């Protein structure tokens, strides 16, 4: 199969630090053929580094006969519009999470799927990390699970990138365009949280769709669908969230804490009475940092722990290899639009539980 010609819509932090280098590494699979961004300086930088063609609009890139695959890496409020255009243009699509900000947007895109004959892949890279993939074979039987604990105790990517890579954060984006995008994003979020929602609830939802979407998706992929959300609470102005998911005979507890310490601590732990399976993630913003898998069992002399790793396979690289395989074989990704809809429906339920909690309104 000849390398596929990729066009990138959006050249921000993740595109610069992750997607462009991985595409360049996998040159037998992909060609970086075109780019578009609202920042002229970003377009100039990327076209000089990767010899890609610059397009004047996202629509021109999407509709170009010289593009086979569209990477939608733009701001969340634009995802629905650009995915719709790429579906109608018959392009394969890699869509960065969150797929959209509302269930309504997802449903409108799902209505187009019967006429869409290509591959649409949502980029939940934690589900493609080596430790996560290896953990599936080590889990206790579902009926034996007694508890699941998940947490994200992290600092934002800029804390790691500023020490490891030269990322361009542009200052030449049109102010009116930025203001319009902020209004559109706020309107979409308020479809879920309510038109009169306080600022901390808006921030909590933004955190769910950004950071927490990774682990909500990973949770569902690992242990299945929860019955619902028992409770949810927000603190620290909405930056921190605590959620309890109902799995019938066990609960899954999720905590997210975002601070400025410059630390990254992310983990999924599944327990039975005699077994603990723990997946440990490091920051994805520095490529090929290892993931780890620990499996602990009760033994006659005490607990015995097997360690898998450090596993240096890069989750983003794995993700693109699997995306390419789906295109080549015509198979259906695990992380598609229908799968992402379940995440957004859970997030809407989380918001309702937050409104009921002591911090809600």
Calculate the CA dihedral of residues 216, 217, 219, 224 and round it to 10 degrees: 120
pLDDT score of 361 more than 60: no
Task: Collect all residues with Cβ–Cβ distance below 8 Å to 299 and sequence separation of at least 6.
Answer: none
Which residues share a beta bridge with 305?
296
CA-CA distance, 195 to 191, in Å (whole number)? 7
- Between strands 53-54 and 120-123, the pairing is unpaired
Note the pLDDT tens digit of each residue in 237-280: 999 999 999 999 999 999 999 998 888 999 999 999 999 999 99
CA 37 to chain CA centroid, Å, is 20
- Overall pTM surpassing 0.85 (yes/no): yes
Note the pLDDT tens digit of each residue in 317-351: 999 999 999 999 999 999 999 999 999 999 999 99
Domains of the chain: 4-124+320-333 (3.40.50.720), 128-314+341-356 (3.30.360.10)
* Helices of type H across the chain: 13-14, 20-25, 40-50, 58-63, 79-88, 103-110, 130-135, 158-164, 175-193, 199-207, 213-223, 315-329, 337-356
> What pLDDT does 190 receive?
97
Note the pLDDT tens digit of each residue in 58-100: 999 999 999 999 999 999 999 999 999 999 999 999 999 999 9
Report the phi/psi class of residue 228: left, alpha or beta, with left for phi > 0 and alpha for psi in -120 to 50: left
Please spell the DSSP secondary structure of 168-209, one letter per residue: ---S-S-HHHHHHHHHHHHHHHHHHH-TT--HHHHHHHHHII
Could you tell me if 250 and 147 are in contact, meaning their C-beta atoms sit under 8 angstroms apart? yes
> What pLDDT does 323 receive?
98
């Amino acid at each position: 199969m000849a390398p596929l010609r990729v066009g990138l819509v959006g050249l921000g932090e993740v595109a610069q630090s992750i997607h462009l280098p991985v595409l360049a590494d996998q040159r037998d699979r992909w060609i970086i053929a075109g780019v578009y961004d609202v920042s002229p300086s970003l377009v100039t930088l990327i076209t000089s580094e990767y010899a890609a063609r610059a397009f004047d609009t996202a629509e021109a890139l999407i509709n170009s006969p010289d593009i086979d695959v569209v990477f939608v890496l733009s701001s969340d409020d634009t995802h629905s519009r650009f995915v719709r255009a790429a579906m109608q243009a018959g392009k394969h699509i890699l869509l960065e999470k969150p797929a959209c900000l509302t269930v309504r947007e997802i449903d409108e895109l799902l209505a187009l799927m019967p006429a869409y004959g290509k591959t649409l892949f949502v980029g939940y890279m934690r589900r493609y990390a080596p430790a996560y993939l290896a953990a599936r074979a080590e889990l206790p039987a579902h009926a034996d699970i007694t508890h699941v604990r998940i947490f994200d105790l992290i600092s934002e990517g800029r804390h790691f990138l500023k020490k490891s890579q030269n990322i361009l954060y542009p200052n030449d984006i049109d102010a009116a365009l930025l203001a319009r995008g902020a209004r559109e994003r706020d309107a979409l979020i308020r479809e879920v949280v309510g038109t009169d929602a306080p600022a901390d609830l808006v921030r909590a939802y933004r955190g769910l769709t950004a950071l927490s979407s990774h682990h909500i998706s990973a949770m569902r992929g690992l242990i299945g669908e929860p019955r619902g959300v028992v409770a949810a609470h927000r603190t620290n102005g909405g930056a921190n969230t605590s959620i309890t998911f109902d799995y019938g005979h066990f609960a899954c507890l999720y905590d997210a804490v975002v601070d400025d310490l410059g630390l990254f601590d992310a983990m999924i732990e599944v327990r039975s009475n005699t077994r603990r399976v723990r997946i440990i993630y490091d920051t994805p913003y520095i490529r090929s940092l290892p993931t780890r898998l620990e499996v602990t069992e009760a033994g006659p002399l005490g607990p015995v722990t097997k360690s898998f790793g450090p596993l240096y396979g890069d989750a983003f690289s794995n993700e693109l290899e699997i995306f390419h395989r789906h295109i080549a074989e015509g198979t259906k990704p695990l992380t598609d639009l229908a799968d992402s809809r379940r995440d957004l429906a859970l997030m809407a339920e989380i918001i309702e539980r937050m409104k009921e909690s002591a911090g809600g309104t």
